[in-house]
Amino acid sequence: MAEQDAIHPVILCGGSGTRLWPLSRKSYPKQFARLTGPDTLFQQTAKRLSGPGLAAPTVLTHSDFRFIVTEQLAAAGVDPGAILIEPDGRNTAPAILAAALHLERTAPDALMLVAPSDHVLRDADAFRAALEAGAEAARAGRIVTFGVVPDRPETGYGYLRLGARGAIAPGVQPLAGFVEKPDRATAEAMLAEGGYLWNAGIFLFSVRNILAAFAAHAPDLIDPVRHAVDGARPDLGFLRLDPEGWAGARDISIDFAVMERADNLSVVPLSGGWSDLGDWQAIWREGAQDAAGVVTSGDVTAMDCRDSLLRAESGAQTLVGIGVENLIAIAMPDAVLVADISRAQEAKEAVAALKARGARQATQLPVDHRPWGWFESLALGPRFQVKRIFVHPGAALSLQSHMHRSEHWIVVRGTAKVTIGATTRLVAEGESVHIPLGEKHRLENPGKLDLELIEVQTGAYLGEDDITRYEDVYARG
């Protein structure tokens, strides 16, 4: 299919999902988690936006997530187009404009399909039909959004108000305006009245038309974002937007910057099967409820419970609920959330309170994902730390040294290739090696299976910032 004829998906992949704490945190937000099945939300989105008539997706994400993005896309069997790295999060308007300016170079008349990476949409066929209906309107110059037919008075979503005129085309209706998240009474009134849809945050428009809309309604964004795109530099297959230009773009959503001002808006209704999974109540609603309305995940025993969500997120723990009702209990190795299910959205306030007192659990998962694999801290005390480290086949840590700690590695699975100073040797399962304080060293996995080892650190300071890198295949500073 010609570049101009294909629809170009743009996946926005930078949110933090604090309402799904403690599973979703700044270091590893909800789009990369397996919340509703074997695929992560990001993988589900990438698969949904692949297939006939769709070009390779453009992904916008943050630097910390770039290797997670490529790893999960590869696991999902999706070959991406460009992966644009945002210097920092500046909301959806600059991100979408950057994608449009990037696509303008090769496909100025093509359609862009913009979607969040952290939503669930169960009925793929219905979405495809809606996409086909919206494509004709978008090619005719309309800015198309997709709205979900509501089935309850939801206060956690914004709404779309349908226009008074009839359908513009089969399946496409005029959009009269946007409605901010309502209170309960307003949501009930809108549901009873009809003519309102939930705002799914999914958009379809041509590259040329969205650039014209930015020029008309948010012209101040164009120069800084164009500077960021024009000054972007390649980095290991990624495209890093220029930070100087990016810093000049204001932080604003696409709704406020463009959509609420444009006069060529249309909407395609979607019937059911969609959720933004914005809080734990939404996860409970989407889950497989038993006869008592209980949803469980992991090693959970529920006794005489009703209308509750119980999740044990570690194989090393079990969660037991007895006689609870309307409850959320999420057990992680380093944090536990217990809340009334009707107050699920207040997890965001809990995260803010934890940040205010400097709690690591506010933003960091106990498992720390790196481009070469991951590690977790098993024990931490004065002058010592024990870690479990996994290194993917063919991956390598940087050549590095530490000023304040020595390390001792014990291989428990696989074979490690270890460089210490000028010496390189293989360390087999059951063997160990010591790295003195200040010595240059590197760990590699030359095998075809994951390498697992235990690391024991000793020293006056054990922070992750005590590292000097000399060589790194992942081009980290």
Q: For 357-367, write each residue's pLDDT tens digit.
A: 999 999 999 89
Q: Which long-range contacts (CB under 8 A, 24 or more apart) does 161-164 make?
A: 161/195, 161/196, 162/195, 162/196, 162/197, 162/267
Whether the CB-CB separation of 31 and 40 falls below 8 Å is answered with yes
pLDDT above 70 covers what percent of the chain?
98
Task: Report whether pLDDT(1) > 70.
Answer: no
Are 326 and 391 in a shared domain? no
Q: Look at residues 275, 303, 324 and tell me which one is the last residue of a structural domain.
A: 275
Among 111, 104, 93, 98, which residue's Cα sits nearest to residue 53?
Answer: 111
Give the domain range for residue 461: 367-471
Q: Tens digit of pLDDT for each residue in 280-309?
A: 999 999 999 999 999 999 999 999 999 999
Query: Is residue 362 a part of any domain in this protein?
Result: no
Q: Look at residues 241, 275, 309 and tell me which one is the last residue of a structural domain.
A: 275
Query: Model pTM?
Result: 0.89
Are 34 and 98 in a shared domain? yes
Q: Tens digit of pLDDT for each residue in 182-192?
A: 999 999 999 99
DSSP state at residue 448: S
Are 212 and 250 in a shared domain? yes
Distance CA 224, CA 375 (A): 38
Are 111 and 255 in a shared domain? yes
Residue 242 makes CB contacts below 8 A (sequence gap 6+) with: 87, 227, 228, 229, 230, 231, 232, 233
Are 18 and 110 in a shared domain? yes
Query: Is cis: bond before 371, omega within 30 of 0?
Result: no
Are 345 and 372 in a shared domain? no
Whether the CB-CB separation of 150 and 112 falls below 8 Å is answered with no
User: Residue 153 — left, alpha, or beta (φ > 0 → left; ψ -120 to 50 → alpha)?
Assistant: beta
Are 17 and 147 in a shared domain? yes
Are 91 and 215 in a shared domain? yes
Higher pLDDT, 315 or 157: 157
Query: What domain count does the chain have?
Result: 3
Task: Report whether pLDDT(5) > 90.
Answer: no
Distance CA 29, CA 13 (A): 9
Whether the CB-CB separation of 299 and 183 falls below 8 Å is answered with no
Are 110 and 196 in a shared domain? yes
Mean pLDDT across the chain = 93
Q: Give the DSSP letter string of 213-258.
A: HHHHH-GGGHHHHHHHHHT-EEETTEEEPPHHHHHTS----HIIII
